[in-house]
Structure 1
């Protein structure tokens, strides 16, 4: 920091160095010039807009933002860690507060959908941004995540082979 590195004598770090350094961390939410939500980096074409629409519905409408905060405001640190650690293993079936993560996901989707409806941004056919939540709503209705569906295929029709994933889920 004081410019005393033998490899770079006299060089001092800059704000750009700090900005570059900040891009090396990969938390679930990363602050850039915007909030980068990293919960899902990619997915099939029919879900590409689902995650951004979900967050827009929650964060860009004051009523939805308040509702979302009410949903999670009393989560303890232990509960947040249990969710973070448990969801990758148990998915939507993870028990939580007398229900499951699926119950929590459904409530969050409902809040987001109301937020998108209030924004009233429509396409040429008069449909608002809720159309992008369709794939997430289908998963919530079925109670099965994309990962769980792939596991069902792996243990069922794919007979333990990973080869079909490259054909059926190429995007």
Structure 2
């Protein structure tokens, strides 16, 4: 049981969300997760901006499309000149799809193949998955945990080499169960 100062902080946070109209525990968890993700991106961006000043090299802020080619392991990604068009095509494709776990897996892999940003593509892509799962009535939310990185990489590789999403979908299904178990503590 949570007591003392930590309980008071948690209660104050719940009160703030309730005052803003958020009373559904899953919506509160969604907002907290989103805020944590944004803070992580902001912290990373600030550190890298300071490092670039110290090193005297130009800095590209997180959120801008990449300006230099990059790779994921041994795989080439979209060239910078092609990113905007490929992202437009991906979003048009996605808007026409039925939203289910298989569609989310394919969207994610295709997004990662484009790799639109210089850095932060994996985190951003996984956050998009979480958000889309929350928006869909047919997909339960999940977060791909760092502990399952090797399964995640295998899922990305399977699509690149075989155009299949079976491994990634299986991982997402397991992560859904794990996420629900983690959240159930807050729903009692």
> TM-score scaled by structure 1?
0.30
Q: Relative contact order: is structure 1 or structure 2 higher (C-alpha 8 Å, sep ≥ 6)? A: 1
> TM-score scaled by structure 2?
0.28
Q: Which one has the largest radius of gyration? A: 1
More strand by share: 1
More helix by share: 2
